[in-house]
């Protein structure tokens, strides 16, 4: 598959990764790279990116509703109150990824974030958004980094504050998914839309 924006069956040019399934087309066109704000919404994205570590994104995307149900729609205060019984329930839930370390990290992260002021997670994450003009539109997938200085700094800051499963690659995937950076390729219909 070419690393450049390609026309799909509908004639719309998209990033090539978006053309493999209808799930990806919808995610690419409607969500990926669009600004996300709100502590709970960002907690959801951060958690899902952590669960994705070592897996393909389609695995997470297809279980997203299961994750939302299992984790109380990622409402930080509710997840922070989960008990040991809730943790065991999650580890037995076939609707999510049943990885003990990732489940424990999500619960731990919610407990940390529950002590933050409202809006603090949103403000912190968005403080690491680079200037939109700081780099040109990538012309191919080879031009899209996996880690940047901003994602490394965000990762370090989140870890310093007690969050887990937030390495630089996960932080950059979060930045891409939540619109802090626009990594839609040049020529992609979703770029800057």
> Helix and strand tally (H, E) in the chain?
10, 2
Does the annotation place 37 within a ligand binding site?
Answer: no
Q: Is 44 known to be catalytic?
A: no
Report how far residue 101's alpha carbon sits from residue 53's, in angstroms, rounded to the nearest whole number: 11
**Which DSSP string do the residues of 22-89 spell out, in sequence order?**
HHHHHHHHHTTTS---SHHHHHHHHHHHHHHTTS-HHHHHTTHHHHHHHTGGG-HHHHHT--HHHHHH
Q: Which of 4, 17, 24, 27 is catalytic?
A: 27
| Burial 117-128, CB ≥16 within 10 A → b, else e | eeeebbebbbeb
Question: Which element (helix H / strand E) includes 14?
Answer: strand 13-14
Per-residue pLDDT tens for 48-95?
999 999 999 999 999 999 999 999 999 999 999 999 999 999 999 999
Does the annotation place 178 within a ligand binding site?
Answer: no
CB 163 within 8 A of CB 74: no
Does the annotation place 184 within a ligand binding site?
Answer: yes
Question: Which element (helix H / strand E) includes 123?
Answer: helix 120-126
What is the assigned CATH class of domain 6-178? mainly alpha
Residue with tokens 């070419």: 2
Q: Is 24 known to be catalytic?
A: no
Per-residue pLDDT tens for 106-136?
999 999 999 999 999 999 999 999 987 778 8
Global pTM exceeds 0.85: yes
């Amino acid at each position: 598959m070419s690393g450049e924006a390609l026309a799909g069956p509908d004639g719309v040019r998209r990033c090539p990764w978006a053309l493999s399934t209808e799930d990806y087309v919808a995610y690419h066109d409607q969500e990926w790279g669009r600004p996300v704000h709100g502590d709970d919404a960002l907690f959801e994205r951060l958690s899902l990116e952590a669960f994705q570590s070592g897996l393909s994104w389609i695995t997470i995307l297809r279980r997203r509703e299961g994750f939302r149900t299992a984790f109380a729609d990622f409402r930080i205060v509710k997840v922070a109150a989960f008990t040991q019984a809730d943790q065991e329930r999650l580890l037995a839930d076939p609707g999510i990824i049943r990885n003990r370390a990732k489940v424990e990290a999500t619960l731990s992260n919610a407990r940390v974030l529950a002590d933050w002021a409202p809006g603090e997670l949103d403000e912190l994450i968005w403080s690491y958004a680079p200037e939109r003009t700081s780099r040109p539109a990538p012309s191919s997938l080879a031009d899209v980094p996996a880690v940047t200085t901003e994602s490394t700094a965000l990762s370090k800051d989140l870890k310093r504050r007690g969050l887990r499963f937030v390495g630089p690659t996960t932080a950059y995937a979060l930045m891409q998914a939540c619109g802090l950076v626009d990594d839609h390729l040049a020529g992609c219909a979703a770029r800057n839309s």
